[in-house]
A = this chain, B = another copy of it.
Amino acid sequence: MPPNGSTGPTGTAAPTMRDVAARAGVSAMTVSRVLKDENVSAATRDRVLTAVRELGYRRNEVARNLRLGRSSGMIGLVVTNLGNPFYSQLALGAEQVAEKHGLRLVLGHTAGLAQREYELVDDLVSRRVDGMIVVPAGSAQQHLDPVSLGGVPVVLASSPPAGIEVDAVLVDDFGGARAATADLLAAGHRAVGFLGNPPTLFTGAERFRGYWAAHEEAGLVPREEWIRRGPDDIPTAAAAARELLDRADPPTALFCTNNRMTLGTYREIRRLGAATALAGFDDFEMADLLDRPITIASYDPGEIGRRAAELLLSRLEQGPNAVPGLTRRLVVPTTLVHYGR
């Protein structure tokens, strides 16, 4: 038996244009035209619209897009950790821009796993998203090459392209880290420790570079014993901080490269009742409510989302006749903020 076909009253399947047409006594084309606001006589239009209402008809945008040869009107957003407020701000920024252009956001969460990212990207392309904003989970990016993706434009967030030609929105990792570290040095500290994520991550490497540069510019050289790279969650960061502070010659100040680490370190300093000064990267709500001073290299994650979406949109407008090899790279600046007096 045919799956649907009838205007059946209890019909479970959604009504189609033909159902509307039958009910209004016109052809499907006329219904299509009415829905597109094309020239149709007022009387016919009314009959059609009535039928639409009575049937609760909604045009199937999926079929429509297929016929029009358009893609889905959706853009993919692939992030490493949806649960992190940072990424939700980013998502919000992207959503706001996409929304204005009638585009919807499809979400993907990789949990930092390259394999998941790989599958997700593939799935999104199969679903014919118009484009994708990706926060890469690892350093390998070949699977993000628009060429192998059938031309679906990709914009990278937080990480620059490596071996592929795509646009990217970055944060001024180097500048922010340098400024934050310099702030500690300017306050007279000569023993500034470093707690950062692994150097394989672009942001980690850049922020470390900034830390080092600030020292050099002050005629100093950081001591390797005060450097810890690797921890990337609050408890591990706390443990690393403790290790540094437990030394015979503990650093008098610490610079942390992201908000997970800053929080873990803050907790530890506070627990030990140490007087260690603290600077970090990534702002967080309530940083101003803490009971000890802290310096943060701050920026707006929403800005990354907005910019990335804008880059993507401009690619979409260009269409496939884009000039290849002309990729853009935007850098969102950071601001130094002093909290807690």
Chain A residues proximal to chain B, CB less than 8 Å: 3-4, 12-15, 56, 58-63, 65-66, 69, 72-74, 77, 82-85, 87-89, 91-92, 95-96, 99, 104-109, 122-128, 148, 150-151, 263, 266-267, 270, 284-286, 288-291, 302, 320-321
Are B14 and A74 touching (Cβ within 8 A)? no
Q: A128 contacts which of B61, B107, B125 (Cβ < 8 Å)?
A: B61
Tell me how far the C-beta of A241 lies from the nearest C-beta in chain B, rounded to whole angstroms: 14
A sample of 8 inter-chain contacts (CB < 8 A) reads A58-B126, A61-B127, A72-B127, A95-B109, A96-B109, A107-B107, A267-B288, A284-B285
Q: Given A106-B106, A126-B61, A263-B289, are A85 and B82 also a contact pair (CB < 8 Å)?
A: no
Tell me how far the C-beta of A120 lies from the nearest C-beta in chain B, rounded to whole angstroms: 9
Are A289 and B267 touching (Cβ within 8 A)? yes
* Additional pairs, 15, CB under 8 Å, beyond known A87-B88, A267-B288: A4-B69, A13-B69, A56-B148, A62-B62, A62-B72, A83-B88, A83-B92, A88-B91, A104-B106, A104-B107, A104-B123, A107-B107, A263-B289, A284-B286, A291-B291
Contacts of A88 in B (CB 8 A): 82-85, 87-88, 91
Contacts of A109 in B (CB 8 A): 92, 95-96, 99
A127 to B104, CA, bound (A): 10
Closest B residue to A87 by CB, please name it: B88
Closest B residue to A292 by CB, please name it: B291
Contacts of A270 in B (CB 8 A): 289
Contacts of A150 in B (CB 8 A): 14-15, 56, 58
- What are the 9 tightest A-B residue pairs by CB atom distance, in nearest-first order? A88-B88, A291-B291, A12-B320, A82-B92, A85-B85, A83-B92, A105-B107, A61-B126, A14-B150
Q: A106 contacts which of B107, B126, B302 (Cβ < 8 Å)?
A: B107
Closest B residue to A71 by CB, please name it: B62
Q: A290 contacts which of B63, B289, B320 (Cβ < 8 Å)?
A: B289
Tell me how far the C-beta of A315 lies from the nearest C-beta in chain B, rounded to whole angstroms: 14
Contacts of A302 in B (CB 8 A): 83
Contacts of A89 in B (CB 8 A): 83
Tell me how far the C-beta of A129 lies from the nearest C-beta in chain B, rounded to whole angstroms: 10
A3 to B60, CA, bound (A): 22
Q: A3 contacts which of B69, B72, B122 (Cβ < 8 Å)?
A: B69
Q: A12 contacts which of B61, B151, B291 (Cβ < 8 Å)?
A: B151
Tell me how far the C-beta of A110 lies from the nearest C-beta in chain B, rounded to whole angstroms: 10
Contacts of A320 in B (CB 8 A): 12-13
Are A14 and B151 touching (Cβ within 8 A)? yes
A25 to B101, CA, bound (A): 42
Closest B residue to A150 by CB, please name it: B14
Are B72 and A82 touching (Cβ within 8 A)? no
Contacts of A288 in B (CB 8 A): 267
Most chain B CB atoms below 10 A, which of A63, A74, A92, A109: A92
A70 to B195, CA, bound (A): 50
Closest B residue to A3 by CB, please name it: B69
Tell me how far the C-beta of A49 lies from the nearest C-beta in chain B, rounded to whole angstroms: 16
Tell me how far the C-beta of A128 lies from the nearest C-beta in chain B, rounded to whole angstroms: 5
Closest B residue to A14 by CB, please name it: B150
